[in-house]
Amino acid sequence: MSPTFLIVGATGNTGRMVVETLSQLLAYSHSFPGHRVLALTRSSRSSAAQTLAKLPGIEIAEQNWVEITPEWLRKEEVVRAFVAPHTQTNQFVEESTFHVAALRAGVKYVVRISTTAANVRPDCDAYYPRSHWAIEAMLSAPEFNSLQWTSLQPNFFSPLYLSAAAGFIKKYRTEKHQDVLRLMASPDAPIGIIDPDDVGIVAARLLLEEDPTAHNKAKYVLNGPQDITGTQIVKMVEEHIGAKVENVSFKDISFIDGMVAATQESKNVILSIKHAPETGWEGKCTASTTSKEVLELAAPKRTPADVLKTMLGE
C-alpha cells in the first residue's frame, strides 16, 4: 500500500475535478512520490466512475463514506482527504463521524466543501448552513489540533443557479413557446455564482500543498470571476433565443415546495431552504468577497456565460 489521497464523492459536483486535477498535477510533483489517489464512488460501473478510472494514477473504490472507520483509513494509508458532504438533515452526524475517524486514524489534512459563506453561522434560518457551521466549530476545537483542515465556502453553484434559464432556452428552441422564466435570482442583486469545477481545482491545489499549515483552520470564500443579476440572466436568455422573454418570475424558489411535499423529513426543516438565497438578494455574495488565498491558488475562471453555453451543449 502507498500513502493515499482519499477523494470522497469523486463523481460529484466538485469531486470529479479534484480527481482530474490531482491526476494531472501529481505526475509533475516531487513532493508526493509514490502517493496514490483513491476515488470513492457509489458505483464503480457508472460512466463517470469509468471515465475517472482511465486517468493516470487514479484508483476507483466502491465505499460508502459514512461507514468509513479509523481501521479502514489506516488500512488504506490515507494521509490527506477531500470531502464534499451531502446537505441532508443528518449531515452533521455523518460528516462528524468521518472527521472523528480521520482524527483517530492519524490523517494529516482534510479539505471539505462548505456552503455560501454569508450563511455559515449559527442563526441562519436555512438548516444546512448551520450544519456546516457546526462542523467547522467542531474542527476548530482543541481536540482536533492534530488534524489540519481547510473549509471551502463556495457561492451558489452556477449550474443550479442557471438551470431554469437553460431549461427555458432548450424548451423554446424545440417548441417555440414560452413558459414563465422562473429565476432564483433577484432582478438587481449581483451574485458571484461559481462553477463547481473551479471549486474542485482549488481543493486539489490545497491537497497538493507540501505544507498545508498556512491553510490550517482556514475558511475560504469562493465566487466566480464576475457577478450576475437576474436582469442579466434574462438578457442572456434573450440572446440565446433571439426573442424577448415575455414573463419572468424573480426570487422564485417554488421548486422547494416540491421537495417539501416529497420529503419524509420534517417539512418545517426542509421548508427552511427557502431562506438560503436571502443573503444573495441582500448583496452579500458578490465576487469581491472571494478570499485572496483562493485567487493566489487558482483564481476561478468560468463565467456565467461560459457555464450556460456548456449546459446548452454549445
Facing residues of 110 across strands?
81, 149
What is 4-155+196-223+286-301's CATH number, 3.20.20.80, 3.30.450.20, 3.60.20.10, 3.40.50.720?
A: 3.40.50.720
Distance CA 308, CA 314 (A): 9
Per DSSP, the residues of 209-258 read -S-GGGGTTEEEEE--SS-B-HHHHHHHHHHHHTS----EETT--THHHH
User: Which among 83, 81, 95 has a CA at the least distance from the CA of 130?
Assistant: 95
User: Which among 86, 78, 34 has a CA at the least distance from the CA of 57?
Assistant: 34
pLDDT at 23 over 90: yes
Q: What is the mean pLDDT of residues 182-196?
A: 98
106 close to 145: Cβ distance less than 8 angstroms: no
Indicate the burial class of 214 (C-beta count within 10 angstroms; 0-12, 13-18, 19 or more). exposed
Domain boundaries, the chain: 4-155+196-223+286-301, 159-189+226-281
Q: What is the mean pLDDT of residues 45-67?
A: 93
* Cell numbers 458532504: residue: 85
Geometric angle at alpha carbon 25, from 222 and 200, rounded to 5°: 25
Which cell numbers hold the place of 273?
Answer: 431552504
Please give the span between the terminal C-alpha atoms of the chain, in angstroms, as a whole number. 43
pLDDT at 31 over 90: no
13 close to 196: Cβ distance less than 8 angstroms: yes
Query: pLDDT-derived band of residue 74, with 50, 70 and 90 as boundaries?
Result: very high
Which cell numbers hold the place of 187?
Answer: 432582478
Given this model, what pLDDT does residue 43 score?
A: 85
Count Cα neighbours of 302 within 13 Å in the Cβ-side half-sphere.
19
Give the SS3 label for residue 201. helix
DSSP H helical ranges for 106-207? 127-139, 158-161, 163-175, 196-207
Query: pLDDT-derived band of residue 45, with 50, 70 and 90 as boundaries?
Result: confident
Distance CA 272, CA 283 (A): 20
Q: H or E stretch including 94?
A: helix 91-105
Distance CA 280, CA 233 (A): 15
Which cell numbers hold the place of 251?
Answer: 426570487
Q: What is the mean pLDDT of residues 122-130?
A: 98
Given this model, what pLDDT does residue 34 score?
A: 86
* Cell numbers 466566480: residue: 224
Indicate the residue type of 76. E
pLDDT digits (tens, 9 = 90+) for 83-116: 999 989 999 999 999 999 999 999 999 999 999 9
Given this model, what pLDDT does residue 29 score?
A: 84
pTM of the model: 0.95
Q: What is the mean pLDDT of residues 283-293?
A: 98
Judged by average pLDDT, the poorest of 142-156, 202-216, 258-272 is 258-272
Given this model, what pLDDT does residue 1 score?
A: 72
The single-letter DSSP state of residue 124 is -
Given this model, what pLDDT does residue 214 score?
A: 98
* pLDDT over 90 percentage in the chain: 93
